[in-house]
Amino acid sequence: MNSFGRVFRITTWGESHGPALGVVIDGCPARLPVDDNDIFNRLKLDVPDQELGTPRGEKNRFQILSGVFDGMTIGTPISIIIWNNDARPESYSGGRDTLRPGHADYTWLKRFGHTDWRGGSRASGRECIARLAAGAIALKILEKFGVSIKSRIIEMAGIEVTDAKSMENARDKALEIGKTGDSTGGAVELIISGLPAGTGSPVFAKLHADLSSAMFSIGGIKAVQFGVGTEVSAMKGSELNDSFDIDKDGEIFTETNSCGGILGGISTGDDLTIKLSVKPTPTVLIPQKTVDIREKKQKTVKYSGRFDMNFVPRIPPVAESMTAFVLVDHLMLSGIIPTTKLQPES
């Protein structure tokens, strides 16, 4: 349940406040150049906005422990460890016996017989750091095959984001509400370009079905849309259908892209577009009613401690990673990305 993928497969481990987190990437072909900078450049995206985001001072010190030798993957599992140098379990102990509303404390209690009072365990956003590390590898593979993934915030704190100015307004709004101790949400869009037509499968391994599962595996995502998404409900077939045309090289293409680059679970070759709705951070610094599981009664609690006013800026890099895992996997399954080696030995 902590693994993702079929032939390109990642397994993540580590709790938010344990000594380290990590990932094992299985199925990466040999002879992909990889160095520490590839990983470093993705890990630094983890908290892109220090004011809105968590003040946790992680340095994200990491090591590649296997699978890479002399700057090149060798076909064995790539194990990457990221040390938690700023884990402070004791800072959470105030809330040890109360279930944090909007968090997974209660559902973990029912599932595993305990809550991890150190701060969310693997239900914490911190878990995603391992996905960022693995994403560096998957994105590098995709790049070699001409596939790129772009993502951006399209809504924050109730304000639509279309340009730099609206982004600034949205951020101001999120900070303003954040200063009252409350949190805000938003929405993110992903655009995948360069994906060959014919990627994906019919029926149960539809490309967008796998992508949706990837997106919902990220904490805080409550809706996933492809193409025009929820708008389809009120459209006519004649409006939604994308006409086909053919260029002078005999390449078929869709004149429009309402379908979001996918028909029947298989890519059309046009941009594949995804929209994610991100909930406001469940931790807020205002009084809330909850249950104390020792005293077995309802209480009003007010948390202090670490607080992301808005974690929407943390979604794009992890959503890109998850998207990349799905794409590499499908491109391997359809034979476009080799599973054994990317180039012969020099």
What does the block give as tokens for 130?
């391992």
Nearest residue to 282 (alpha-carbon basis) of 216, 183, 188, 215 = 183
Site for its own copies in 129-148 (CB under 8 A): none
Return d(Cα 1, Cα 8) in angstroms, integer. Answer: 15
Task: Determine if 209 is a binding residue for its own copies (CB under 8 A).
Answer: yes
Please give the C-alpha separations between residue 309 and each of 43, 47, 87, 129, 313, in angstroms, as whole numbers. 21, 12, 20, 19, 11
Return d(Cα 190, Cα 183) in angstroms, integer. Answer: 23
* Secondary structure of residue 160 in the 3-state scheme: strand
Q: Which of 85, 162, 230, 304 binds its own copies (CB under 8 A)?
A: 230
Tell me how far, at minimum, the Cβ of 163 lies from its own copies, in Å. Answer: 18
Binding string, residues 278-297; x marks residues near its own copies by CB under 8 A: xxxxxxx-x-xxxx-x--xx
Which secondary-structure segment (H or E) carries 186? strand 186-193
Tell me how far, at minimum, the Cβ of 140 lies from its own copies, in Å. Answer: 17
Q: Which of 85, 168, 245, 302 binds its own copies (CB under 8 A)?
A: 245
Q: For 108, what's the count of Cα atoms within 13 Å in the CB-facing half-sphere?
A: 18
Site for its own copies in 314-343 (CB under 8 A): 333-335, 338-341, 343
Task: Determine if 270 is a binding residue for its own copies (CB under 8 A).
Answer: no
Tell me how far, at minimum, the Cβ of 61 lies from its own copies, in Å. Answer: 14
Task: Determine if 90 is a binding residue for its own copies (CB under 8 A).
Answer: no
Tell me how far, at minimum, the Cβ of 92 lies from its own copies, in Å. Answer: 13
Site for its own copies in 24-83 (CB under 8 A): 24, 26-27, 30-31, 63, 65-67, 69, 74-79, 81
The C-alpha torsion from 250 through 251 and 253 to 255, rounded to 10°, is: -50
